[in-house]
Amino acid sequence: MKARGLHGVEFVGSDDHPGLKKAIPEVLTGVFWQRRYVHFLRNALDYVPRKVDDDCLLQLRWMSDRRDIAEVRRDLAAWLGKWGGKYPKLTGWLEENIEETLTCFRLPLAHRKHMKSTNMLERLNEEIRRRTYVVRIFPTARAACGLSAR
């Protein structure tokens, strides 16, 4: 991508893929990396029994809605104190990995909602693929854009 002109990247969001995590700082120096919050929450399910208390995961999910990092850290400490006895594997894993999901708090508040997860972007790309797959060949780039924008 850099060979094709990619530049000006400041923030990268991805899942916890080891190859990506290693490549991003090597190829895109000075870029902030964020583990996508949705993937983080899905990974958290690996550390709790199937019949986990819904309040535990709901409270963890709400951490991303806080206004600043100080508020997150305060609520996270309370959450760890509340659930540490019941789910020690989850809380231990979370303490080791939570920083990867808090990178978006370096961004202005208006951008955080869109940058903590790329699910909206993934859904848009999926819809464009679905619409263009039927036609396959477009006479012009404008025709392709017209079908995708409807």
Please name which of 7, 11, 46 lies closest in space to residue 116, comparing C-alpha atoms. Answer: 11
pLDDT-derived band at 149, boundaries 50, 70, 90: low
Mean pLDDT for all residues in the chain? 84
pTM: 0.71
Distance (Å, rounded) from C-alpha 133 to C-alpha 127?
A: 10
Instruction: Enumerate the domain spans of the chain.
Output: 11-117, 118-150
Tens-digit pLDDT profile for residues 73-128: 999 999 999 999 999 999 999 999 998 888 888 888 887 777 766 677 778 878 88
Distance (Å, rounded) from C-alpha 91 to C-alpha 81?
A: 9
